[in-house]
Amino acid sequence: MKPAAVKPKLATLILLGSLLFVLTGSCLCSSGSKQYADMMTMVPVASTEFHFWNIHGLGADSELWPLYEKFRESSIARQLADIEPVLAVVKNSAKASGFDGSVTVLEGDFNSRDLERRLKSEGYVLSMHLDVEIWTPEEGELYVSVALVDRAVLMGTAEDLKACINAMELDQQDSFYEDQAIEWVADRLPEGLIVDIFRAGPDSTEHYADLISYGRSYTKEGEDKLRMTGIYMFSDGYAAEPALAHVSDYLKGQEFTNVETKQEGNFIRATASVYISDLTRDMPY
């Protein structure tokens, strides 16, 4: 028996469906991932701190403007204004440090041709690294170097920018997100207006026995309040269990309220509330 012929209309639908699958699978594969996780792939694996700010979200809510002003008044924003006068094009910001340097990644609706033209007019000098443009201000300037990548601007010293470009472009260079101990914490955190992720060590803010990595995510909870979700990864459950009380005590001492902690295997999940005014006072951009 011959197989039944496919009707033209059905064949067209199958073809269109297959094409849509190819497009969504190859071009839009990151559309469902978290914004901060995408930006973690742009910074070096040796980073010890990562700070994500949803600039668009902070600027769109008047109750969050005290935090948005932290970005707006920063040296990064002041320098950016010289080459991109419309700060509203910035959607997200990420700052990474600890790889013998630091870098800021700004993601948004940038026009690379406009940026290149303004960088030239401001006297920046062009160099290339792995086919990525790096623009360095004239000697004696207080500004940092600028690298242009797809829909993003990287700002830092030229050497620090090269480390980020290596993380994005070279197969042998891992990014911060590809460190499993970091990825496990990042994947457990909710999407947030501000997300901080740390590699635990002698210089980290919180110290608990056998703590490996930890992070916090802040979401809007109500008028003048944010909800914080914290994830702490320990070497095993044996180390996590006695740290429950220590994590709770630390957060309560940092002006968090409604603190709750629970153990999830070798992880601790903490939730709490904090006033926007208190967070703004204590959190630098």
Q: What is the pLDDT of residues 169-202, one digit of tens each?
A: 875 457 999 999 999 999 999 999 999 999 999 8
| 274 shares a domain with 194 | yes
183 & 74 share domain: no
Same structural domain for residues 219 and 271? yes
Considering the domain architecture, whether residues 162 and 208 belong to the same structural domain is answered as no
pLDDT of residue 167: 87
**Exposed e or buried b per residue across 3-31, where buried means at least 16 C-beta atoms within 10 angstroms of its C-beta:** eeeeeeeeeeeeeeeeeeeeeeeeeeeee
Across-strand partners of 99? none
Residue 257 inside a domain? The answer is: yes
Quick one: pLDDT at residue 22? 31
Domains of the chain: total: 2
Residue 24 in domain? no
Query: Which residue, 169, 193, 221, sits at the end of a domain?
Result: 169
Say which residue the tokens 């309220």 belong to.
Answer: 257
Q: pTM, whole model, 2 decimals?
A: 0.86
Q: Are residues 200 and 120 in the same domain?
A: no
Q: Report yes or no on 69 lying in a domain.
A: yes
189 with 80, same domain: the answer is no
Residues 222 and 149 placed together within one structural domain of the fold: no
Secondary structure of the chain in HEC code, one letter for each residue: CCCCCCCHHHHHHHHHHHHHHHHHHHHCCCCCCCHHHHHHCCCECCCCEEEEECHHHHHCCHHHHHHHHHHHCCHHHHHHHHHCCCHHHEEEEEEEECCCCEEEEEEECCCHHHHHHHHHHCCCEEEEECCEEEEECCCCCCCCEEEEECCEEEEECHHHHHHHHHHHHCCCCCEHHHCHHHHHHHHHCCCCCEEEEEECCCCCCCCCCCEEEEEEEEEEEECCEEEEEEEEEECCHHHHHHHHHHHHHHHHHCCCEEEEEEEECCEEEEEEEEEHHHHHHHCCC
Average pLDDT over residues 42-66: 96
Q: How confident is the model at residue 29 (pLDDT cuts 50, 70, 90)?
A: very low
186 and 271 inside one domain = yes
Average pLDDT, the chain: 87
Question: Does residue 238 carry a pLDDT above 70?
Answer: yes
Q: Give CA separation, 84 vs 21, 77, 92, 125, 247, in Å.
A: 37, 9, 15, 17, 42
Among the candidates 169, 204, 220, a domain finishes at: 169
Could you tell me the pLDDT band of residue 28, with boundaries at 50, 70 and 90? very low
Residues 127 and 239 in one domain: no
**Using 50, 70 and 90 to split pLDDT, how confident is the model at 242?**
very high
Q: Which two structure tokens, joined as six digits, stand for 163?
A: 């480390």
Residues 217 and 229 sit within 8 Å (Cβ to Cβ): yes
**Structural domain of 101:** 49-169
Residue type for position 279? L
The reply to whether 140 and 190 lie within a common domain is: no
Least confident of 84-98, 139-153, 248-262: 139-153
The mean per-residue pLDDT over the stretch 130-140 comes to: 89
Decide which of 169, 199, 233 is a domain's last residue. Answer: 169
pLDDT at position 33, please?
83
